[in-house]
Chain A
Amino acid sequence: MDENLVGYLLKSLDPDTHRQVENYLRDDAGARRRLEQLRLVLEPLAADAEPPEPPPGLWVRTLAYIAQDRCRCRLPPAPPPVTVPAAPPRRWGRWADLLIAASVLLLLAGVGTAWLVELKQQHQIIACANNLRRIYLPLVTYANLHNGDFPRVEENPPRNVAGIFVPVLHDAGLGQDVNVACPGNGQPPPPRSIRELEELHARDRQAFREAIREMAGCYAYSLGYRQRGFDGRVRHCGLRRDSGDTLPIMADQPPFEVGSVTGGPGNSANHRGRGQNVLFIGGNVQFLKVRFLGSGDDIYLNEFRRVAAGEGPGDTVLGPSWASPYPPGPE
């Protein structure tokens, strides 16, 4: 029974064995003496009993690390390298070969500039998609920390505009990866906190309007949707982590002028009107050549063709930085 004395002191035994040791100790004075000696053996360990403090924010970094790993896994695997069989050696110097070479050079010179421009635009589209994937990490981490809710546009200023997600993420300590300058178009605006915006709103309305106009940079963010509750009242809801992996949450900014309420036609100007990158709740990013989803839903306007909250959970509306779910009436 002596082999269980240490376990008895540490309360590491199962209940039956613990009771047996208690009986053993009650009946055996020598056992009680040995138990006391063992207590003295263990006693110095208490000098270092205080558990080491974890570094600040470890759990937040851990969630971000997992989200980053999951995002990496979602990227499509790189295509296998193309191997072209080596051409058989041939003799140069024939006139026909020279003519072909000259034609190719002329053709290259002709299309070279256009090709380079095309290449640059393709690169910008890919860089923009990668940027949205980076922004997804803090967004999904925020949602994981807030009962599944992504940053939400609310009713009262300054939280009543689409761009509010940027200062919300900054205030939550998740803003270091949030660069809202699309590589295809634009410079990043200075980061602001909610408190700064509230002070600006109270102090200088014009400066406030300018600040919210640039807050989300070149991107659009979900304005949420309206939903009628059991009590018959209409409520405004934001997107949640479980709203559906295929619902858009962010995209390139829409092709609307600042102040427009009804929106205009066409694609985002970020990529010369060729389409827009769209970030979905599941973390996927797609370049859509039209601004409509498979369901026919316009990602920039609600069912009533307005830049306002969607008319239901499936009615996506991604508004530019200044847009509110409750705009004034049509002009």
Chain B
Amino acid sequence: MELPDPLTGCSDEELLRRFCRGQKEAFGVLVRRYERELYGYLRRYLGDTNLAEDVFQNTFLQVYLKSSQYEEGRPVRPWLYTIATNQAIDALRRNGRHQAISLDQEREETGEGEVHNLMELLESRGPSPLDAAQGQERRERVRASVDRLPDFLREVLILAYYQGLKYREIADILGIPVGTVKSRLHAALVKLQEAWHTTPSLYEA
């Protein structure tokens, strides 16, 4: 199916503006444009293809329903991620998989402590078993270790590393300060380092 050329050249903001003014087909272009990117994010975050597809569909249903609340000029990409993340958290909660962040954890997130932990860890570590793994094994080990991260660390890591979002955008999407984004990202890297140094090769067990 060929998409109309005039719309495919439009920015996200222009597409949503046109849709809000009644040009319904602009919405289809937006869905198609974000199909791969947003599904990829949800698939990584949720760790389940069916759930990711459901949440993707519900995300765009919410975008459709909330389009009247969209403020013209506001960047669309972080707005989409905000809706997708909220939908994903709802889905995890419905499935009893969501890990709520504790008050203690929240208090510990100062933005400074984790970076020192990470630096100290780097000073003291030698090569990890992961360094010896190659190709498929390496990919599976990385994915498994990311999947095992707590939700609040995994979402920051995915948004920053895999989705390439700015700290400011991540802070807006998750409704947390930029300093917390940094400390969670450092904490995620500390945990990944620990996982990669303690877990034997997948094929050694």
B143 at interface by CB-CB < 8 Å: yes
User: Footprint of B on A, CB under 8 Å?
Assistant: 2-7, 10-14, 34, 37-38, 40-42, 44-45, 47-49, 51-55, 58-63, 65-66, 69-70, 143-148, 172, 241-242
Q: A48-B139, A48-B146, A52-B44 are in contact. Are A59 and B161 (CB under 8 A)?
A: no
B39 lies within 8 A of A47 (CB): no
Are A52 and B40 within 8 A (Cβ)?
A: yes
Shortest C-beta distance, B183 to chain A (Å), equals: 8
- B3 → chain A closest CB, angstroms: 8
Choice from B61, B166, B168 contacting A69 with Cβ under 8 Å? B61
Docked CA distance A52–B37 (Å)? 9
CA distance A41 to B69 in the complex (A): 41
Which residue of A6, A62, A63 contacts B186 across the interface (Cβ within 8 Å)? A6
In contact, A59 and B25 (Cβ under 8 angstroms): no
A13 to B182, CA, bound (A): 10
Residues in chain A near residue B142, CB distance under 8 A? 44-45, 47-48
Chain A residues within 8 Å of B81, by CB: none
Which residues on B are within 8 Å of A, measured CB to CB? 1, 3-4, 7, 22-25, 27-28, 31-32, 35-37, 39-40, 43-44, 49, 52-53, 56-57, 60-61, 64, 111-112, 115, 118-119, 122, 130, 138-139, 142-143, 146, 160-162, 164-168, 170, 182-183, 185-186, 189, 192-193, 196
Asked if A62 and B139 make an inter-chain contact with CB atoms under 8 angstroms apart, the answer reads no
Residues from chain B with a CB closer than 8 A to the CB of A53 are 36
| Contact present for B56 and A62 (CB under 8 Å) | yes
B146 touches A54 (CB 8 A): no
Closest to A13 in B: B167
Q: What are 12 inter-chain pairs, A to B, with CB distance below 8 A?
A: A12-B164, A14-B168, A41-B122, A41-B192, A45-B142, A45-B162, A48-B143, A54-B35, A55-B53, A58-B35, A58-B39, A58-B56
Nearest chain A CB to B139 CB, angstrom units: 5
B25 near A47: Cβ-Cβ < 8 Å: no
Give the CA-CA distance A256 to B39 in the complex, in Å: 50
Closest 3 CB pairs of A and B: A51-B40, A54-B39, A52-B43
User: What is the bound-complex CA distance between A44 and B3, given in angstroms?
Assistant: 38
Contact across chains for A2 and B115 when beta carbons are under 8 A apart: yes
Having A4-B182, A12-B160, one finds 9 other A-B pairs with CB under 8 Å, namely A5-B115, A6-B186, A12-B166, A34-B119, A44-B138, A45-B146, A58-B53, A59-B28, A242-B24
